[in-house]
Amino acid sequence: MANETNVPAPKPTTLEGWVKLLDGVRLPVPQASHDRVCKAIGDNRSSLRDIAELMQDSPALALSVIREANRQTHGSMAEPAENLEVAITRLGLKRTEELLARLPAMPESQIPVTLRQLQLISQHATQQANGFFAARLARLWQDIHWGSLLFLSPLWPMALTHPQLLEEWELRVIHKGESARTVEKQLFGVRLLRIAQKLVETWRLPIWVQQGYRLLLKEQRELVKVLRIARDVDHPLRQQNRLDDDPTLRRWLNQPANTVLLANGLALSAQQSWDCPHSERWQYLTSLYLQMPMDELQQQLHQQAANSARHHAAPDLWHPAIALLWPWGSSHVPAGLMPAPAPTTEDLAKWRVQCAELLVEPSRFTNAMHLTNSARDALVACGMRRVMILMADRTHANLRVHQTAGLPKEAGGLNFVVSQSNVLQRLLAQQAQVRITPANNAQFSALLPPGLRAQFRGDHLLLRSLVNNGRVIMIVVADQGGGPFSDITVQAFGKTAQCIEKALHSFSHRGQ
């Protein structure tokens, strides 16, 4: 396993090339999880179950141990290790410890966000699988749990080596509706599902994971048939009769292995939205599989998502549970997301005072924090309810939060890698303003860091880059609570940005 995580890898164009590359990637493990597991292995009082439970906190660690155990028994008569306890037993504690020593361990915040986002989806899928299926199929809970967690694992190393390809795939296939086959041919040279399937076979992952990919690749006709029946959700008796008339299709639907695919379909599609066509398809299928009414299924679905968020959410990642607070259509828009009222005469008077302070010459500001604090107050005074001011480092590689208003305290500690967002790259390249609306929300949200978008829920957002001496040094992000902007506030926002730029120029030339 030669590839280190910090070495850029050339892009393969063949199935064999992708498998060779991705099979050689060492996935980074959060330092805290790594330390806890190492301590448990060194403690004679720790049982295998204790160690396995600690490993579950890190999906990458769990995958690495299962892969290594199956690699050791490859070619033998032994069945693949399909859960952590079996894998640790086969490796033994000494070899497990040696494997841990080879894995790169680092603070969680330093692990690339695209990888952690994918792993969060896998953890969300596992929560859905346990909530919907594990109790009903209690004897199979291990198969359900590990199959669900590892289903997307073939994409984890790709999120490390080529995150921009996965992001472009998501934008074009999910948000723009382009043909997956065409896009994947252009981006990867081969179907993404084929890459995943081949890695699943190479790593000898649980058989239910293999069955899920085989279904998606070779059993689409059956899937379409079942989906047609599943859509007839208002007539459960008619659904049952149609399944009874086709026993082969009924057996195909009722395979326990389908639980893994259903759970991942529910979690992955929820990343786009809870009521998009992708999400509805998986909800219909799960409803039919469980013989559960849709309203009851959706209630449990949202409850499990909230449980997942409590355990796995992170400030810089997007969890679909956040969107459960959003409206699902214009008829459900709560008062807080109605168009913001225009600022009053008194509000505008306060705003003008704030702007005047920015324009004082020579500059009255003693340091950059003093200036951005005043800039934040001016943006709030013009009617913005949530504000984030990002400062670029000297290399334009990172944007660090400098000031916030109306956001959780932890938002002040966020840092965004510019190379992971096309929108941030464009805003840093030259002076520009991006206005997100319901018409372009899906397109732009896919190009923003999930952690940034998660702070500003809603369909309306303004982002503007500010220039000093011909170079972008700051980006302002603001909204009026996520609902439509007041036109006067948008105009005031533009004028405030100009005042901040003049203040920056005056501050940088003070004393000259």
369 part of a folded domain:
yes
What total of structural domains would you count in the chain?
Answer: 3
28-37, 90-99, 317-326, 453-462: segment of lowest average pLDDT = 317-326
Q: Which of 476, 474, 512 shows the shortest CA–CA distance to 494?
A: 476
91-100, 160-169, 239-248: segment of lowest average pLDDT = 160-169
Residues 367 and 499 in one domain: yes
Confidence of residue 175 (pLDDT cuts 50, 70, 90): low
Residue 217 pLDDT > 90, yes or no? Answer: yes
**Spatial separation of the C-alpha atoms in residues 59 and 120, rounded to whole Å:** 9
Which tokens sit at 22? 């991705």
Residue 327 pLDDT > 60, yes or no? Answer: no
Residues 139 and 269 in one domain: yes
132 part of a folded domain:
yes
Cα-based distances in Å from 118 to 111, 121, 157, 167, 350: 12, 5, 10, 11, 45
Residues 282 and 369 in one domain: no
328 part of a folded domain:
no
Residue 323 pLDDT > 80, yes or no? Answer: no
pLDDT of residue 325: 55
pLDDT of residue 313: 83
pLDDT of residue 68: 92
Mean pLDDT calculated for residue range 201-224:
95
Residues 451 and 356 in one domain: yes
Between 447 and 326, the higher pLDDT residue: 447
Pairing verdict, β 471-479 and 29-30: unpaired
pLDDT of residue 75: 61
Residues 418 and 402 in one domain: yes
pLDDT of residue 240: 92
Residues 91 and 200 in one domain: no
Residue 53 pLDDT > 80, yes or no? Answer: yes
189 part of a folded domain:
yes
Residues 244 and 167 in one domain: yes
pLDDT of residue 176: 67
88 part of a folded domain:
yes
Q: Which of 27, 5, 10, 4 shows the shortest CA–CA distance to 165?
A: 10
The residue out of 111, 136, 164 marking a domain boundary is: 111
Residues 119 and 65 in one domain: no
Q: Could you report the per-residue pLDDT of 466-500, keeping only the tens digit for each? A: 999 889 999 999 999 888 888 788 888 988 998 99
The residue out of 111, 128, 143 marking a domain boundary is: 111
pLDDT of residue 339: 55
> 387 lies in which domain range?
345-508
Mean pLDDT calculated for residue range 138-167:
93
**Spatial separation of the C-alpha atoms in residues 452 and 314, rounded to whole Å:** 12
- How is residue 458 annotated by DSSP? S
Q: Could you report the per-residue pLDDT of 17-42, keeping only the tens digit for each? A: 999 999 999 999 999 999 999 999 98
Mean pLDDT, the chain, whole residue set: 88
Residue 396 pLDDT > 60, yes or no? Answer: yes
Between 114 and 255, the higher pLDDT residue: 255
**Spatial separation of the C-alpha atoms in residues 192 and 155, rounded to whole Å:** 9
pTM: 0.67
Confidence of residue 440 (pLDDT cuts 50, 70, 90): confident
Mean pLDDT calculated for residue range 441-451:
84
pLDDT of residue 241: 94
pLDDT of residue 49: 86
pLDDT of residue 156: 97
Mean pLDDT calculated for residue range 367-383:
92
12 part of a folded domain:
no
Residue 62 pLDDT > 90, yes or no? Answer: yes
Residue 261 pLDDT > 80, yes or no? Answer: yes
